[in-house]
Structure 1
Amino acid sequence: MRVDIWSDIVCPWCYIGKARFERALAAFEHADEVEVEFHSFRLDPSAPEEPEPLLDALADKYGMSAEQARAADAGARANAEGEGLPFTSERSHANTFDAHRLLHLARDRGLQHEAVDTLFRAYFGEGADVFGRDALVGLAEKAGLDADEARRVLDGRQYADHVEDDTEQARALGATGVPFFVVDERYGVSGAQPADVFAQVLEKAWEEKE
């Protein structure tokens, strides 16, 4: 059975939703027969390439006050910590296009899950740079990718079409935001749902498949 997940590397609810889904999958009787693939979806394609403080970016994008931006991030932090995930508010915000291109390289090299984990943990757990070329090359190497190959990809335009195609596919499926999960090409689950919701969908999809 196949599960497709659309997410953005700087989306806290994608980080949380991934953990909740994985908790459900770990308890699923047929987990070893489930193939999971991540797809690109940029929440803010117009974000600048140069990083800016996250809370400033939230306030500007959504018309929030500084206090509202802090409260929104605190809510995400509470949910992340409830899943046992490291989470810092000392993060920057910028365009994630190159990070997504890197994830497509990782998929082709059989290291997509390692790369997704590495980027999420670096960004949310450490407040690390996941935007600059040098930073991304270092993270790619940490995930098991060849640093020289990662740099060649990031210095060019390789996988740019893959990122755009993923987004168009998500929109064609009716996704307006992420995380967005599609189980067995039939059941869509939107948002960072509780683990038991994912468990129910996995069971239902498996029973109907059988």
Structure 2
Amino acid sequence: MLDILFVTDFVCPYCLVAKVALEEALRETGLEAQVRVQPLELTPEPRERVDTCHDEARKKRYQILVEPARALGLDMKLPPAVCPRPYTRLAFEGLYYAQEKGLGERYADLVYRAYFEKELDIGELEVLCGIAGEAGLDVEGYRQALLQGTYTQKVKEETAYSRDVLKVSGVPTVYLNGESVSIETYTKEEMVRILQQGQEASASGFHCGVDGCG
């Protein structure tokens, strides 16, 4: 079984395309894999949030994702009309709640799509509660976990691990059996090749970094 560590943030468009491409590649190849989500908040609180809506250079770089996203059936807004870009700590806290209920994968997919397809502010508690309900979670239990900060420290620790131990500076960063792989085209075909052959390389191509996307 392949071990895949997927370092991500819910507001990174490259992450959503890479995630869906990876899922499609796993289905096509029939390979078994354990995919572990590792958070890296691009903008941890209280840092100033990023205005992606009026960043023309960023919009231009996003164009690499248009065709891969379309091929994967994604109706992505690049960027979404949510300005400034949301914080994601609460969304990740919700992910840990969902994982404990066995619905982590479903929840994560809905969070990405809520932001990039529905253009919802995933930094807002009520938006996240709506996503939780759609995922099949107990909404009141979810709400209380976030209000009480049940998973706040865990998100902070895991984000720190991504930055300080893994030394990840941009997302998505993907480790296949402990080795970093390079994603450049964000297509299913590229992911199939990576899964079948393995690839050890430093991160390259386009991604979202802590100081911007490029």
**Do the aligned residues in 1 keep the contact of 2:76 with 2:116 (CA within 8 Å)?**
yes
Greater per-residue helix proportion: 1
Change (3 A) 1:74 1:183: closer
Matched residues, number = 192
CA RMSD of aligned residues (A): 2.4
Q: Tell me, which stretches of 5 or more residues in structure 1 are unaligned?
A: 60-66, 206-210
Cα deviation for residue 47 of structure 1 reads: 6.4
In the superposition, the TM-score normalised over structure 1's length comes to 0.80
2:35 pairs with 1:36: yes
Deviations 1:37-61 (A, max 9, x none): 2121111224669x886414xx3xx
Partners of 1:69 and 1:35 lie apart in 2 by: 32
Identity %: 26
Indicate the residue corresponding to 2:209 in structure 1. none
Indicate the residue corresponding to 1:153 in structure 2. 145
Partners of 2:66 and 2:195 lie apart in 1 by: 27
Partners of 2:114 and 2:100 lie apart in 1 by: 22
Matches within 5 A, 1:114-133: 114-133=106-125
Partners of 1:95 and 1:25 lie apart in 2 by: 30
In the superposition, the TM-score normalised over structure 2's length comes to 0.78
Indicate the residue corresponding to 1:165 in structure 2. 157
Pick which of 21-30 and 100-109 moved more: 21-30
Match of 1:91 among 75, 78, 81: 81
SS of 2:6's equivalent?
A: strand
Deviations 1:99-120 (A, max 9, x none): 1111111111111110011111
Change (3 A) 1:54 1:174: closer
Partners of 1:169 and 1:86 lie apart in 2 by: 32
Indicate the residue corresponding to 2:180 in structure 1. 188
Cα deviation for residue 167 of structure 1 reads: 2.2
Cα deviation for residue 121 of structure 1 reads: 1.3
Write the letter of the residue equivalent to 1:114.
R
**Do the aligned residues in 2 keep the contact of 1:179 with 1:190 (CA within 8 Å)?**
no
**Do the aligned residues in 2 keep the contact of 1:47 with 1:95 (CA within 8 Å)?**
no
Indicate the residue corresponding to 1:140 in structure 2. 132
Pick which of 91-100 and 160-169 moved more: 160-169
Change (3 A) 1:177 1:28: same
Write the letter of the residue equivalent to 1:36.
V
**Do the aligned residues in 2 keep the contact of 1:23 with 1:195 (CA within 8 Å)?**
yes
Cα deviation for residue 74 of structure 1 reads: 4.2
